[in-house]
Amino acid sequence: MKIGKILLVLVVCALMTAPVFANITNGGFETGNLNGWSTTIPTDGFAGAVTSHSDLTSFGTGTTSWGPTEGQYFALLKPDGPGNYTQMWQTFTVGDNTPLSFDYFWDSQDFKSFNDTATGWLIGPTGTVTLDPV
């Protein structure tokens, strides 16, 4: 068996769905909360399961809305400002050759040179990163 650890360091939003044969707890956030996930949330940051999210487009010219790609909920993570990160992670076990799939979306709503950062890692049992940072 392989032990994996997902550490999602996100600026804005992440969505995770897992096949039923991986032992990820609340992988699709369908409990309506982040039960089963560990989080680090800055003082004015946010992490939660939501059904939709809307935000102003770059330069405030309109509104963009997002929803889950599967199910009713997705995880939304927001920082409290530059240099701070909202994080969520979970350790899980999957068998050899077990497929693992998930969706994620980074929305910085910024422009160069002020573009925000987001990073996601899928870390294997030996510490090897198998999902490169974005």
> Each residue of 33-78: pLDDT tens digit?
999 999 999 998 899 999 998 876 666 667 778 899 999 999 998 8
The three state secondary structure string of the chain is CEEEEEEEEECCEECCCCCCCCCCCCCCCCCCCCCCCEEECCCCCEEEEECCEEEECHHHCCEEEECCCCCCCEEEEECCCCCCCEEEEEEEEECCCCCCCCCECCCCCCCCCCCCCCEEEEECCCCCECCCCC
Whether the model pTM is above 0.75: no
